[in-house]
Structure 1
Amino acid sequence: MTLTIRDAAETDLPRVAALYGREVLRGTATFELEPPGPQEMARRFAAVKRHNLPWLTAELDGAFAGYAYASPFRPRPAYRYGVEGSVYIEEAARGHGVGRTLLDALIGRVRAMGLRHVIGAISDSDTSAASIALHRSLGFREAGVYRQVGWKFERWLDVTLMQLDLAPEGAPPGAPGLDLTGGLA
């Protein structure tokens, strides 16, 4: 099997939207209840790019296998050195290292930007053991759990927060951080 990671392009958005839409309707990785349309996905993609943050696409043997992107963690200026990472994998591509490779590539990109933290917000803590284990294996540590903060599929869902320190020595930032004036994704 050949796994390729590349920068996402606007031409990827129909596949991105389809994958995300399936997760909205059948999964708990997002708390959205209605799949966003193509225009909304294009707006989100443009917002990530406006911040010069990475949005990556994975192909497994030439077929779309998933995507990952970084978005500003929070809108206040003091948070400008942290991002939240999001990863979505096609069901048929799971178990082939796609998630690990995408997340590792995303971490490399934001580290090269001089950012300090990557935050993972993993919903449905009860059924997301694989995602939590993946994040741990890449150096993330648990930062806390929001208990029963989402209501989806007639049940309460937790969110486990995981944090990767890219500059754990605590030195002052060496890069300007994100420009948060362009709005969040």
Structure 2
Amino acid sequence: MPLPLLIRDSRDTDIPIITGIYGHHVRHGLASFEEEAPSLGEMGRRRADMLDKGYPYIVAERHGRVVGYAYAAAYRLRPAYRFAVENSIYIDQADRGGGIGSALLPALIERCAARGYRQMIAVIGDSANAASIALHAKFGFRTVGTFTSIGWKHGRWVDSVLMQRALGDGDASAPPERPDR
């Protein structure tokens, strides 16, 4: 039985492990369409940018060690999209399958809903990424489309699966003037 997880806001001191987790996914996986792993400084800059804009950036910690992280960012930059966020979740390769995604995703959903966002989008790299698709479906996301062969990585064409779920009232009522960032 896995040890309990602590879900908390990320800290500056988490950047090295976050960089390592993400770097592995960039170099060996298809969840990210980046082809070169960003540096420690770049990952710190990206996190600071998300936090400055008021988006949540959280980690899962088990026995004092960060084993995964998740964050939300603007889905698109045009003003009409201001109530929609895109989520990203990355788990340490050594800890996959241990319920970390199932702890991070609802915590991220809750934080985004509390800030007034109304829709969350998952852009899942690789239509064969059954684990990520199942994780999102478990928490209320529905598949809304697939971009076939949209990216080229690791010597093959890769799809992107788009999934969506409502946050809070979704589109059942008018949103606040701005999300509470």
TM-score for both structures, normalised by structure 1: 0.92
Backbone CA RMSD of aligned residues? 1.3
For residues 125 and 29 of structure 2, what CA distance do their matches in structure 1 show? 10
- Unaligned regions of 5+ residues in structure 1, if any? 180-185
Q: Which residue of 2 aligns with 1:44?
A: 46
| Identity value in percent | 46
* Match for residue 68 of structure 1 among 47, 70, 80: 70
Q: Distance in 1 between matches of 2:108 and 2:142?
A: 17
1:118 to 117, 120, 129: 120
Distance 2:156 2:88 in 1: 23
Corresponding residue number in structure 2 for 1:83: 85
Contact 1:113 1:175 in 2 (8 A): no
2:141 maps to which residue?
Answer: 140
Give the Cα–Cα distance (whole angstroms) in 2 for the partners of residues 102 and 16 of structure 1: 14
Match of 1:72, as an amino acid?
A: A
Runs of 4+ in 1 over 2 A off after TM superposition: 167-170
1:53 aligns with 2:55: yes
Report the number of matched residues: 178
Q: 1:123 to 1:27 in 2, by over 3 A?
A: same
1:40-67 alpha-carbon deviations (Å, 9 max, x no partner): 1111101100111100011122221010
Does the residue aligned with 1:32 lie in a helix, a strand or coil?
A: coil
Q: Which moved more, 1:6-15 or 1:87-96?
A: 87-96
1:15 touches 1:64 (CA, 8 Å); kept in 2? yes
Deviations 1:74-99 (A, max 9, x none): 01011000100000001222222110
Equivalent position amino acid for 2:37 in 1: P
Q: Distance in 2 between matches of 1:91 and 1:20?
A: 10
Residue 175 (structure 1) shift: 4.8
The residue that corresponds to 2:29 in the other structure is: 27
Evaluate the alpha carbon distance shift between residue 28 and residue 178 of structure 1 in structure 2; reply closer, same or farther with a 3 A threshold. farther
Kindly provide the CA deviation profile for residues 114-138 of structure 1, in whole angstroms up to 9, marking residues without a partner as x. 1101100001112x11110110110
- 5+ residue gaps, structure 2, are none
The answer to whether residue 107 in structure 2 is matched with residue 130 in structure 1 is: no
Q: Is it true that 1:158 corresponds to 2:159 in the alignment? A: yes
Could you say what secondary structure the match of 2:31 adopts?
coil
Distance 2:171 2:18 in 1: 36
> Cα distance 1:178–1:113, how it changes in 2: closer, same or farther (>3 A)?
closer
Equivalent residue number for residue 172 of structure 1? 174
**Structure 2 CA distance, aligned partners of 1:108 and 1:168?**
13
Question: Quick check: 2:118–2:171 contact (8 Å CA) kept in 1?
Answer: no
Task: Determine if contact 1:51/1:178 at 8 Å carries over to the other structure.
Answer: no
Structure 1 Cα separation of the partners of residues 7 and 20 of structure 2: 19
Q: State the SS of the aligned residue for 1:25.
A: helix
The one-letter code matched in structure 1 to 2:47 is F
Q: TM-score, normalised to structure 2's length?
A: 0.94
